[in-house]
Structure 1
Amino acid sequence: MATQKLYAGVKLRETRTRLGLTQKDFAARLGVSLPYLNQMENNHRPVSTGVVLALAQEFGFDVTELSTGDAERLVSDMREALADPVFADSAPPLADLRLAASNAPALARAFLDLHRAYRQSHERLASLDEALGREDAALSPSPWEEVRDFFHYCDNYIDAVDRAAERFACPGGVRADPVERARAALAEVGVGVEYRDGPGLRAYDARARLLTLNARSAPATQRFQMLHQVALLTRDKLLQATLDLARFQSDEARAIARIGLANYFAGAALLPYGAILDAARETRHDLELLSDRFGASVEQVAHRLSTLQRPGAKGVPFFFVRVDQAGTITKRHSATRLQFARFGGACPLWNVHRAFETPGRFLRQLAETPDGVRYLNIARDVSKPGGAWGAPVRRFAIALGCEISHAANLVYADDLDLTKSAAFEPIGISCRICERRECHQRSVPPLERRLSVDADRRGVLPYEIAE
């Protein structure tokens, strides 16, 4: 098998500059001619084996730093950004992307930062839903919204917490029973565990050093709540350090975020990164199989899949959303280009709203957003019984989706015709920022379009939206 040629001009230049050597002196130390070094530094020729050995022997250079991993990741990130429909008619060829990543990595990163800022500007438009939808709206976000945005702009992946949870769940690299690990961790700090009937899911008595869990809760919920308390009691320094970096504007936001980070630890310990990533690929993201294998709920599995964005080991980029019966979004995370309305309900054309009508069943939907991006969505109700006669039932529905380019990795795509345009339902994000002119479910006009009102004519809507 032919070996891959190594082009590392940027690394060579950085090394020479750090050592304070001229090209002539550097070439002499490496045992090559000046023109040859110049060609290598400009990626016109690959770095030879002799040069790699000379770098290690002459300068003690860690040759693994010459790896093209960073360049390949840059190429991958640029290809993902250039898949945005805004570049539909001007996307450069792959060879140009590789040249940019190898010869001008700083420029490539600047492009990615610019595209990220472009995406965020669209999200800021969505935030106008708050100002227009609530009379008490303020310019500054509430503590709850500030925390939600913190997780959102982290792509819902917190590396330090995720890795700490994985080390906790997999001592020696082998996944252990989460309940046994949690009990042992709590016992080390002198905390006992009891199960009792009563309101609430979890209660910790600091004076008695006792954690009480609801005996009527589902086993997956009990495991999650126990792991949550482990995070609060044994990983608080890590949580506090992460909170310090976030620089929240209020003590309330910091307190809410601490709970969110403890929840993150619990989910990552119940579904350790490497184990769930491998299992997801093996089962082609079958939520029910994964739920059974890890002793987690379908909602916990779906939520976890949306967080698998570790650099160098990313899973399928998913969006995850949970809605209540009124259509209000109660959870939202997205590693895709799809961004949810920050306030109010989701588009009524999404299949997540129909999940309440078919309890216990998965619904599939091929959907297309106004920007032309196509998705595979799956939805299911996740109603939570109260556990006793007269106890309130909490009713929710969840949706998990990915861009259609990843659909082959999901068992739910089997037997669907992904090539038929008519199979894709037109959906939006929120009526206020959706540009579709003929939507029969539109509730309010779009923010940035002019309207035409004719009292003598009536179509689906009592007004027409200008082009």
Structure 2
Amino acid sequence: MRGRKLFIGRNIRAIREQHQLTQANFANQLGISTSYLNQIENNQRHLSANVLLSLAEKFSVDITTLSEDDSNRLLADMIEALADPLFGGESPNGQDLKLVTQNAPAVAKAFLSMHHALRRAGEQLAELDDTLERSGALTEPAPYEEVRDYFHYIDNYVHELDVLAEDLAEAALQRGQKSVRALAEYIERKHRVHVSVANISADERVLRSYHSVSRTLKLDSRASESTNAFQIAHQIALIEHGDLIRDIVNRADFRSEDAGAICQIGLANYFAGAALLPYGQFLDLARTHRHDLEILSDHFGASIEQVSHRLSTLQRNGSKGIPFFFARVDQAGNITKRHSATKLQFARFGSACPLWNVHRAFETPEQICRQLAETPDGVRYLCLSKAVTKKKGGFREPVQRHALALGCEIIHASELVYADDLDIKSEQAFEPIGISCRICDRSNCHQRAVPPLKRKLDIDENTRTVIPYKF
């Protein structure tokens, strides 16, 4: 937090209300005036070092948790939403938006939900006008998108499940023992569930099938060991911690039952990933080997995707890892998974920037591609990408292809083995990338697909540039 002023009035107000104190009593314990506290809570004054120390001493507040990450995510999403032509190019200035996301995040999230519903309604009207008759179909966000936003705004870290997953790893996974065998023995010994690894019909395309009556968990023999281990851990989560998972879902207060059911699966998946890559052990090894993905993958018997995703979740208070962004992109450029603990926030709509090296990964599937990149806000990143394929079955069976993207701000580059021979001090080494063409203001981009929605076009019939318009 050194080097920048903290305007986090909402957080301070929450701490005060948690202790059921008036502003006068709270200010007295912090050793400041009531008027100063009132200004802090309304983001009219920033927190001083003395106030931070008083919070830590008097109220046992972990000051590392006082950050603007959630506000940054909301701010990025608000800017993108307001770029929609629906608003006619009129939008509040950046300072006004920042005040809303810091002081009234619930209002900002309600606005995003409304915009999401309007956009979804417009898209469905354009494609299937008969859906107008469906009850509620146009006013509710898609369940998967609602769940994805839920994980996005909780920093993709679920402390209760993460700690329990660490306990499972300690109880079931012994050094040198295969995860599949260890977890199969654990679930059979503790819950009398028999694990059957068999050749499931290719037509079924089922990775995991649990039969509660026979207490049999059926896995596909053609899946990788890391996949089967993940599926066993997922089933353990549902059996051992189903009540906790349902409680977390209820607290999330989703708009539909479908979203709640999807989130329940997502939370079990979270537990499984955290069990195979237990927090403390994984973080220590990541630091020791300077975040070498292959070494981490080999050590834990996990896939590169599991390792990359886990690196982006290391946000435990008092023991945080490097803030990474992580995404999974298909060959059309659609982002099918996304999370960012950095300032870089992925577009909610449309494809990813074509200049981002994640697209190049498909050209060299066996390699980890590296890129030094700079976003329009001037922040610089070390970006990694790798193509992955998931094949199941014979010659004629379909193959899933995705590219994984992982990266961090350049200030952390020395902690990654991938930066060793890169010239991170050279201005020319950084490639300009954006988030999405529809919200990117770069005027000289040769790969631009569509003009930015907020900018007025300047079309000159007598002049032809690389792109057929100026703005």
**What interval of TM-score do these two structures reach, taking the shorter chain for normalisation?**
0.7 to 0.9
Flag the 1:354–1:264 CA change in 2: closer, same or farther, 3 A.
same
2:102 paired residue number: 113
Q: Which amino acid aligns with 1:140?
A: E
Distance in 1 (CA, whole Å) between partners of 2:292 and 2:152 is 25
Pick aligned residue for 1:184 from 176, 183, 186: 186
Pick aligned residue for 2:317 from 311, 321, 333: 311
Pick aligned residue for 2:220 from 214, 229, 233: 214
Q: Give the 3-state SS of the residue equivalent to 2:237 in structure 1.
A: helix
Distance in 2 (CA, whole Å) between partners of 1:123 and 1:368 is 27
Query: Where does 1:117-266 land on structure 2 (aligned, <5 Å)?
Result: 135=126, 138-171=138-171, 178-179=179-180, 180-198=182-200, 199=202, 200-266=206-272
| Count of residue pairs brought into register by the alignment | 392
Per-residue deviation, 1:343 = 2.5
* Contact 1:182–1:230 under 8 Å retained in 2: no
Flag the 1:80–1:346 CA change in 2: closer, same or farther, 3 A.
closer
1:53 paired residue number: none
Question: Which segment is superposed worse, 178-187 or 416-425?
Answer: 178-187
* Contact 1:170–1:176 under 8 Å retained in 2: no
1:373 paired residue number: 379
Distance in 2 (CA, whole Å) between partners of 1:353 and 1:155 is 25
Distance in 2 (CA, whole Å) between partners of 1:428 and 1:122 is 24
Query: Where does 1:57-68 land on structure 2 (aligned, <5 Å)?
Result: 66=57
Flag the 1:68–1:396 CA change in 2: closer, same or farther, 3 A.
same
Distance in 1 (CA, whole Å) between partners of 2:122 and 2:382 is 31
* Contact 1:169–1:181 under 8 Å retained in 2: no
Distance in 2 (CA, whole Å) between partners of 1:175 and 1:253 is 38
Q: Give the 3-state SS of the residue equivalent to 2:400 in structure 1.
A: coil
Question: Which segment is superposed worse, 455-464 or 112-121?
Answer: 112-121
Q: Which amino acid aligns with 1:77?
A: S
* Contact 1:194–1:211 under 8 Å retained in 2: yes
Name stretches of at least 5 consecutive residues in structure 2 with no aligned partner: 1-11, 34-53, 77-98, 128-136
TM-score (norm 2): 0.74
Flag the 1:71–1:327 CA change in 2: closer, same or farther, 3 A.
closer
Per-residue deviation, 1:123 = 8.0
Query: Where does 1:293-442 land on structure 2 (aligned, <5 Å)?
Result: 293-442=299-448
Distance in 2 (CA, whole Å) between partners of 1:80 and 1:154 is 8
1:443 aligns to 2:454 (yes or no): no
Per-residue deviation, 1:168 = 1.4
Q: Which amino acid aligns with 1:274?
A: G
Flag the 1:119–1:292 CA change in 2: closer, same or farther, 3 A.
farther
Task: Select the structure of larger CA radius of gyration.
Answer: 1
Per-residue deviation, 1:196 = 0.9
Q: Which amino acid aligns with 1:73?
A: T
Pick aligned residue for 1:77 from 44, 67, 71: 67
Flag the 1:395–1:159 CA change in 2: closer, same or farther, 3 A.
same
Distance in 2 (CA, whole Å) between partners of 1:369 and 1:126 is 25
Per-residue deviation, 1:464 = 0.4
Per-residue deviation, 1:421 = 1.3
Q: Give the 3-state SS of the residue equivalent to 1:442 in structure 2.
A: coil
Q: Which amino acid aligns with 2:232?
A: M
1:62-93, Cα deviation, whole Å (9 max, x unpaired): x997379737426x7379999xx99xxxxxxx
Flag the 1:39–1:352 CA change in 2: closer, same or farther, 3 A.
closer
Q: Which amino acid aligns with 2:162?
A: D
Question: Which segment is superposed worse, 382-391 or 446-455?
Answer: 382-391
TM-score (norm 1): 0.75
Flag the 1:201–1:349 CA change in 2: closer, same or farther, 3 A.
same
Q: Give the 3-state SS of the residue equivalent to 2:316 in structure 1.
A: coil
Q: Percent identity?
A: 51
Kindly report the root-mean-square deviation, in angstroms, between the aligned alpha carbons of the 2 structures. 3.8
Name stretches of at least 5 consecutive residues in structure 1 with no aligned partner: 1-9, 24-37, 44-62, 87-109
Distance in 1 (CA, whole Å) between partners of 2:144 and 2:240 is 25
